[in-house]
Amino acid sequence: MAEAILDITDHGLSPPQAAQRRGVPRTTLIDRLNGRGAAEDQIQPRRRLSKSQEDRLAFWILRQESLGYAPSHSQIRACVMGLLRQQGEHPDLGRNWVIKFINRRADLKTKMGRRQEGKRFDSFTPKAVHWYFDIRDGQYGWIKPENTVNVDEGGIMTGFGLDSLVVGSADPKRKAFLKGPKTRNWTSLSKLSLLTAAL
C-alpha cells in the first residue's frame, strides 16, 4: 500500500494505475489517499481510542515499567485525556475507562509497585550484570542450583511506605520496581536484639 501511495505522490501515476501496478484494491488506495485508515485502526463504537492508539499506549506503559516509572491509573488517565485534547475531542473519560482498557489487554495488569533507590537503577548496566555473572560462574559455578537458598534480610521499616498500585506487564514473575528516593531506615532484628541486650 505504501509503495502504491509513493507511486502516486512521487512518480505521478494515477490511482488506478498505481493500484494495478502494486496489486492493491483501487478503492482502498483512494481511501488511504483521502486520509481514511484501515478498518482495524478505526475507533470502535463506544471506544475513545483506535486499536493502534491502544497498542501504542500499552507499549508506552510497558516501556515505562522497564525504565522504573510504571504509571499509575491516574497517570494513564491523564495521558489519554491529553491525547484526546490534542485530537480536538472532549477529554472526559468514564470512571472505569482505565480498568476496562487493562481488561482488554492480555499483556497488562495492575500490580503493586515497589520503590527502589534511584542509584540502584542507574548502576544496573549490562556491563555490571555481565561482570556479576562472570564472577558468580567462576567462583560458585560448582554449586548446583538446587543446593542454593536465597536468604533475604528481614527488618522493620521506619518512615512512610511509598509503594503504590501501578500498571505493568501481566507476567506474574516480573515485579514493578519504581525509581525514587529511598528515604527509609531499616534495622535488622539482630541489631535490635543486640541493642536491647546492651541496655
Distance (Å, rounded) from C-alpha 53 to C-alpha 21? 31
- Domain residue extents for the chain: 1-36, 48-135+155-199
Separation of alpha carbons 35 and 7, rounded Å: 17
Among candidate residues 42, 38, 47, 63, the one with its CA nearest the CA of residue 104: 47
169-181 burial: b if 16+ Cβ within 10 Å, else e: beeeeeebbbbbe
> Taking phi first (over 0 means left), then psi (-120 to 50 degrees means alpha), and beta for anything else, what does residue 50 get?
beta
The pLDDT of residue 39: 60
Percent of the chain scoring above 70 in pLDDT: 71
Contact 178, 166 (CB under 8 A): yes
pLDDT of 159? 45
Task: Report pLDDT digits (tens) over 138-186.
Answer: 787 787 777 776 555 444 444 444 557 888 888 887 777 776 655 554 4
Confidence of residue 57 (pLDDT cuts 50, 70, 90): very high
Contact 58, 107 (CB under 8 A): yes
Q: What is the pLDDT of residues 113-136, one digit of tens each?
A: 877 666 666 666 778 777 877 887
**Bridge partners for 177 per DSSP:** 114
> What whole-number distance in Å separates Cα of residue 10 and Cα of residue 75?
42
DSSP H stretches of helix in the chain:
2-9, 15-22, 26-33, 51-66, 73-86, 97-104, 118-122, 126-140, 189-198
pLDDT for residue 43: 53
15-22 helix and 2-9 helix, angle to the nearest 10 degrees: 140
* C-alpha–C-alpha distance, residues 179 and 118, integer Å: 5
Q: Which residues partner with 156 through β-bridges?
A: 187
Per-position b or e across 116-140, b if 16+ CB within 10 A of its CB:
beeeeeeeeeeeeeeeeeeeeeeee
Quote the cell numbers at residue 163: 509503594
pTM for this one?
A: 0.51
SS3 state at 35? coil
Which residue in 104, 20, 89, 18 sits closest to 58, CA to CA? 104
